[in-house]
Structure 1
């Protein structure tokens, strides 16, 4: 890789990590077979997306690897073609490998600015990509999936690439908040070989306000209470929050709240005539 001096340059980052690489039943021999298979399947998936392995900068991470794709290669195939090709290659690897050498993968795609030096590459965006592939919502999505691959893309990749793809349905992605260590950023998760049901409503939801995908509801984020109900009561969230679903009656020093159970809670002195005031 030719040096780029002190200036940051743009690259698309493809980061792949093996689920449970250090599992007790995965001996050193199995780990070596897993790593050899990992490089093979990633190379196959990049080739399917039209990206030659030798054109990229790549570094090993023990239980995974990352690839920096030069800007002359379009990003769309990296989310349209590469994930399905990677899942297909993983299934092929697993059919010819012993159980402890079989793999399932987490995949992150991010568009980053990086600076090269004599030791490799660095940037805050590169660190963010590593946080994405380690995000708990992505790990949970893969653990709950019958497939072999879970993918997470950064918000910039989703907004600038996924939303505009011709052969990929963005409604099969789910918005999440990726929080790892000091990192907290919105992102989008998909299961390439076992997709979430298409849900156009998720495209209007901001990832920052979203919960992790709930497999029991087809991967949709858990519903949240409306901010304001018909009576104008604003919902409050938090560990000590109280959700009010009934009506509000009275005014001044006596305000009665009718709960959905039929019970009532009065703040201050109740107005004359009972909890609902004069009749």
Structure 2
């Protein structure tokens, strides 16, 4: 996009995919009808949140579409208003369409930095958004639902937007672990047109560990993980001051000690030399 150069910029990501688009019963004319309906319903839902089409970057995915919404448009309506508007529009499409051209949609909402070039857009965060859309728990949630839309939001969107919403009940979301290729993280499911029963106990769910959405493979989530020292990872309740937990032995003498961790890592701590005690009057430096 103009003006962004090679610098990454923040965008909210809205990704939509049609369930069973390639089913044998959906012939090419049906697929074309489904795609036309997809753009119609996404357009209606986008208009409901007041985001103009021409301010969004968008790409067609054959059986889906994704939008990148500029940061001047708040994220909250994208999880408070858009999902239900999308479900209403889908039901309207389905009532006037051939059975094989009807649609049920998976929706993913994430946010993060993206970089534009002459070919389009890319980033780790955007890739993570597509991993959300492809997550098995989301597919199962839609398959098991009598509704027409199932939504998944990233942990970032849930923690920054959903938890603080006065419009949607965060307790109607359900935590799921997303494990798709390089991504392993906590995400949250919702069924906009057939919500789960509120369960406030789920709001205390903690993330599963390393490789969070938007984190490079092998990285660690900022909210605590297995690699945290004195943080909120497993084996630490998060209370009290940060410190070092020694899981191995302490060895050595002389000028230093070696702390052997259970992982096989070692840390050698040097000790300052202790000066000798002063000699008493008449005492030799080399007593025999």
- TM-score over 0.5 for the pair: yes
Structure 1 alignment gaps of length 5 or more: 210-279
Q: Secondary structure at the match of 1:130?
A: helix
The corresponding residue for 2:104 is: 104
Counterpart Cα distance in 1 of 2:49 and 2:207: 27
Query: Does the 8 A contact of 1:110 with 1:156 survive in 2?
Result: yes
The corresponding residue for 1:77 is: 77
Counterpart Cα distance in 2 of 1:27 and 1:180: 29
Deviation at 1:166, TM superposition (A): 1.0
Counterpart Cα distance in 1 of 2:170 and 2:179: 22
Q: Please say if 1:182 is aligned against 2:182.
A: yes
Q: Please say if 1:53 is aligned against 2:57.
A: no
The corresponding residue for 2:33 is: 33
Deviation at 1:3, TM superposition (A): 3.9
Q: Please say if 1:205 is aligned against 2:210.
A: no
Q: Secondary structure at the match of 1:11?
A: strand
Q: Secondary structure at the match of 1:89?
A: helix
Q: Secondary structure at the match of 2:54?
A: helix
Q: Please list, as runs of the form range in 1=range in 2, the aligned pairs for 1:128-167 lying within 5 A after superposition.
A: 128-167=128-167
Q: Secondary structure at the match of 1:208?
A: coil
Aligned length: 209
Query: Does the 8 A contact of 1:3 with 1:117 survive in 2?
Result: no
Counterpart Cα distance in 1 of 2:124 and 2:194: 32
Residue-by-residue CA offset, 1:169-206 (whole Å, 9 max, x unaligned):
00000000011122212100000000000000000112
* Greater Rg over alpha carbons, structure: 2
Deviation at 1:207, TM superposition (A): 4.3
The corresponding residue for 1:229 is: none
Counterpart Cα distance in 1 of 2:112 and 2:42: 20
Counterpart Cα distance in 1 of 2:140 and 2:207: 17
Residue-by-residue CA offset, 1:55-80 (whole Å, 9 max, x unaligned):
10000001001000000000000000
4+ runs deviating over 4 angstroms: none
Deviation at 1:87, TM superposition (A): 0.2
Q: Secondary structure at the match of 2:208?
A: helix
Structure 2 alignment gaps of length 5 or more: 210-288
Q: Secondary structure at the match of 1:167?
A: coil
For the aligned residue pairs, the C-alpha RMSD in angstroms reads 1.0
The corresponding residue for 1:272 is: none
Please report the TM-score for the alignment, with normalisation by the length of structure 2: 0.71
The corresponding residue for 1:2 is: 2
Q: Secondary structure at the match of 1:114?
A: strand
